[in-house]
Amino acid sequence: MTNPTSRRASPRPPIGLLLPAAIGLALFVVPLVGLLARTPWADLLDLVTGAVVTDALRLSLVSSLGATVVSLLLGVPLAWVLARVEFPGRSLVRGLVTLPLVLPPVVGGAALLFAVGRRGLVGGPLERMTGLVLPFSTAGVVLACTFVAMPFLVITVEGALRTMDRRQEDAAATLGASRWTVLRRVTLPVIAPSLVSGLVLTWARAFGEFGATVTFAGNLQGRTQTLPLAVFVALESQRDTAVAISLVMVAVSLAVLVGLRGRWWPTS
């Protein structure tokens, strides 16, 4: 039997909120409508299947997925430490981790260049020991994307760990489960929706990354030129190509976000 209180009528919104809400929605909708209106539909297939677009799309997918995997491997343990371990300077560490969220991406790219560039603090010794050169390489693109995108995963997972009911973990530990078993069989399943949401946000941020990438990794077609960089170059002389690439990015990102919302994010 359905509880009559479970299906309440939606409250009528105050008139004073409708106009600002409509304007706020327009800020998202109007640019997309403008993009669709400017799209060269007759030549769209030829434009999106050109070498520049396919190379940039491939590199964007590789770099964004690579950054997401690296963020998963490093960001989840970091989030667990920030959420569960008390240590001096934890607030400072949290601030450093979330700094890329507010830092201009170009500044982040410059910081990476000075740190792991060929003459950087770490990059110089790394090149001499291993021969690995990160700037102007695909690996450098992945690093730049990880730097700007991983904070989304860290803050999402840390928030989930802080708010979860720890009695389930305590019960599993009381029954003799090891810490690793508790993490694998209890903690991660409980925070799974937040973890997946954080991974999606991380991927979306990495997929659209521009500033840190162009500063640290350059703009070399087939090597470091992702879709946002290809749009930037095409805007100067090939507007139709820029519009086509932008449409591809919107379509891919929107499909992923909408496809996962009903599965992992709250819905009405």
Delimit the domains of the chain by residue range. Answer: 45-262
Does residue 94 surpass a pLDDT of 90? yes
| pLDDT for position 191 | 93
Does residue 195 surpass a pLDDT of 60? yes
CATH number of this structure's domain 45-262, picked from the four choices 1.10.3720.10, 3.40.50.720, 1.20.140.10, 3.90.1300.10: 1.10.3720.10
180-189: long-range contacts, CB 8 A cutoff, minimum separation 24? 183/80, 187/161
Q: How many CB atoms lie within 10 A of CB 255?
A: 10
| pLDDT for position 266 | 52
Does residue 262 surpass a pLDDT of 70? no
pTM of the model: 0.86
Residue 268: Cβ-neighbour burial (10 angstroms; 0-12, 13-18, 19+): exposed
* Percentage of the chain exceeding pLDDT 70: 93
Chain mean pLDDT for the chain: 88
What whole-number distance in Å separates Cα of residue 116 and Cα of residue 127? 9
Which residues neighbour 214 within 8 Å (Cβ) at sequence distance 6 or greater? Answer: 106, 109, 229, 232
Does residue 119 surpass a pLDDT of 80? yes
| pLDDT for position 126 | 84
**Residues 216, 140: contact at Cβ < 8 Å?**
yes
Residue 102: Cβ-neighbour burial (10 angstroms; 0-12, 13-18, 19+): exposed
Does residue 31 surpass a pLDDT of 80? yes
Mean pLDDT of 243-250: 90
What whole-number distance in Å separates Cα of residue 204 and Cα of residue 64? 8
Mean pLDDT of 32-38: 90
**Residues 258, 250: contact at Cβ < 8 Å?**
no
